[in-house]
Amino acid sequence: MADNALYILLCSGEREKIQMAAMMAAVAAVSERPVQVFVSMNAMLAFDKNAPLATRYHGGAFAKLLHDQKAPDPMVLFQQGKDLGDLKMWACSMALDIQGWEMSHLDETLFDGPLGLTKFLSDAESGQFVTL
């Protein structure tokens, strides 16, 4: 992976943080930076493909504003990053186990597969690391 790669560890289920992760991932990917996103903990719940978009997120005052103002949904931004740039998304294998989920529980067009934290951290040694 290139040394300008961006690695995002996304753990929060808050709309505000997922929105920022999606914005960073999409913009970096279309700016010729390889991006990898590792989704774990509460953030995983937002990627449940069976959950209605309106109930996927929680958050504070800004989450309501994002919803009311019809800001682009984070899932759409992640997908745009994948379609237009080098963006890979990984589902934390531990979080999948804890939830009792298979990869089929998540949107297959968004995720590249399950991954362990050790591998993600190892890959991330060569780039910039952001936690949300």
Partner 1 sequence: MSEKTIVDARGAFCPGPLMELIATLKNIAIGDEVDVWSTDKGSVTDIPEWCKKVKHECVGVVEQQGYWSVLVRKAK
Residues 24-53 that bind partner 1 (CB under 8 A): 26-27, 30-32
Asked whether the beta carbons of 90 and 43 are under 8 A apart, the reply is no
How many CA within 13 A on the CB side of residue 95?
26
Q: Which of 3, 52, 61, 69 binds partner 1 (CB under 8 A)?
A: 69
Separation between Cα atoms, residue 22 and residue 29, nearest integer Å:
10
Q: Which of 63, 75, 77, 132 binds partner 1 (CB under 8 A)?
A: 77
**N-terminal to C-terminal alpha carbon distance within the chain:** 22
Nearer to partner 1, 26 or 39 (CB): 26
> Footprint of partner 1 on this chain (CB under 8 A)?
23, 26-27, 30-32, 69, 71-72, 77, 80, 83-84
